């Protein structure tokens, strides 16, 4: 009998959120809520970024030096923390893009999507 749960359809591919956030910030600084909306929108609502994933990821990226942050006001005049890509963050994004390309191609080979 089939026990336990099959993987959730809505879940992100673990390890890709950091890359998506970094990529979004190439366009310029943004606050967390806006970053999530941009990702959701440009992925045609396929990717859903939960707040419980978003904020830990932002803090993690800042801890690692890929992002810097400053408090400011959002477009709606709300208090918001704006994140900006650092020089190290740009390097990291390049690394993660390469890794993504390599990995998705490798998986494509196995899956016969040549």
Q: Tell the smallest beta-carbon distance from residue 104 to DNA (Å).
A: 15
Q: Is residue 78 part of the contact set for a second copy (CB under 8 A)?
A: no
Q: Is residue 100 part of the contact set for a second copy (CB under 8 A)?
A: yes
Where do we find the tokens 């606050």?
Answer: 31
| Cβ-based neighbours of 24, under 8 Å, separated by 6 or more | 30, 35, 38, 39
The DSSP call for residue 44 is T
Report the interface residues with DNA, using CB under 7 A: 4-5, 7-8, 10-12, 14-18, 31-34, 48-53, 55-60, 74-82
Contact 69/62 with Cβ under 8 angstroms? yes
Interaction site with a second copy (CB under 8 A) = 1-4, 6-7, 9, 11-16, 18-20, 23-24, 39, 42-44, 46-47, 60, 63-66, 88, 92, 95-97, 99-100, 102-107, 109-112
């Amino acid at each position: 009998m089939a026990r336990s749960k099959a993987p959730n359809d809505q879940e992100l591919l673990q390890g890709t959120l950091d890359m998506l956030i970094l990529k979004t910030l190439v366009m310029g600084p943004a606050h967390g809520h806006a970053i999530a909306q941009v990702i959701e929108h440009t992925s045609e609502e396929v990717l859903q970024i939960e707040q419980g994933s978003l904020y830990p990821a932002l803090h993690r990226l800042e801890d690692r030096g890929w992002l810097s942050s400053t408090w400011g006001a959002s477009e709606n005049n709300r208090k918001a923390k704006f994140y900006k890509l650092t020089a190290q963050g740009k390097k990291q994004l390049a690394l993660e893009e390469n890794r993504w390309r390599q990995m998705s191609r490798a998986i494509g080979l196995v899956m016969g999507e040549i």
